[in-house]
Structure 1
Amino acid sequence: MRCYWEEEDTWFYFEVDAEGWVIRQVELEGPELTPIAAASLAEGQRACDTGRLDEYDSRFGITAELPISEWEGHAPEQPTSEEFEEVWGPARQQIASRPS
């Protein structure tokens, strides 16, 4: 799903599982849609298990910590999985290519 947060001029894209937990998340900021996060729950969990969560978070961000059923005050749009991938791929590549 996709939501816009006007106060921060940020688009949020979420891939969620059947229980409503965010498994991948992209955040694009400003009129240029600059990627500021492209996080994966599985990668974040592996980073936590290896003691590298802070490093992962500072580079890719962290996925939302509550299932979407507990969110309030959002009006999500429902992009297709292909549309999500079109945002995920370039955002992830741009963030990964930045110097650490």
Structure 2
Amino acid sequence: MRCYWDEEDTWFYSEVDAEGWVIRQVELEGPELTPIAAASLAEWQRARDAGRLDEYDSRFGITAELPVSEWEGHDPKQLTFEEFEELWGPARRQIASRPS
């Protein structure tokens, strides 16, 4: 799904599970749609378990902490898996290539 937060000029693109929890999230900011986050819940959990959570958060960000059904002020639109993947890959590569 996708939604726009105009206060920050940020697009949020999310892959959610059957219960509405975000499992992967991409955030694109500004008119250039600069990737500022490309986080995976599974990776975040592994980083937490390995004691590397700060490192992961500072590089890739975090996924939404509430299920989609509890979001306020957002009007999410549906995306296909393919549409999400088209954003995920380039955003991850761009963020991963930045100096840490």
Query: Could you tell me which amino acid in structure 2 is paired with residue 10 of structure 1?
Result: T
Identity %: 88
1:10-58 alpha-carbon deviations (Å, 9 max, x no partner): 0000000001100000000000000000000000000000000000000
1:29 corresponds to: 29
Structure 1 range deviating more: 64-73 or 54-63:
64-73
Match in the other structure for 2:49: 49
Distance, in Å, in 1 between the alignment partners of 2:45 and 2:80 is 26
Give structure 1 regions of 4+ aligned residues with deviation exceeding 3 angstroms.
Answer: none
Structure 2 distance, partners of 1:56, 1:87, is 19
CA distance in 2 between partners of 1:73 and 1:21 (Å): 17
Letter in structure 1 aligned against 2:27: E
1:88 maps to 2:88: yes
Q: Which amino acid aligns with 1:97?
A: S
Structure 1 length as normaliser, TM-score? 0.98
Stretches of structure 1 lacking an aligned partner (at least 5 in a row): none
How many residues align? The count is 100
Task: Give structure 2 stretches of 5+ with no counterpart.
Answer: none
Tell me by how many angstroms 1:5 deviates.
0.5
- CA RMSD after TM alignment: 0.5
* SS of alignment partner, residue 7 of structure 2: helix
The 1-side partners of 2:81 and 2:44 are apart by 21
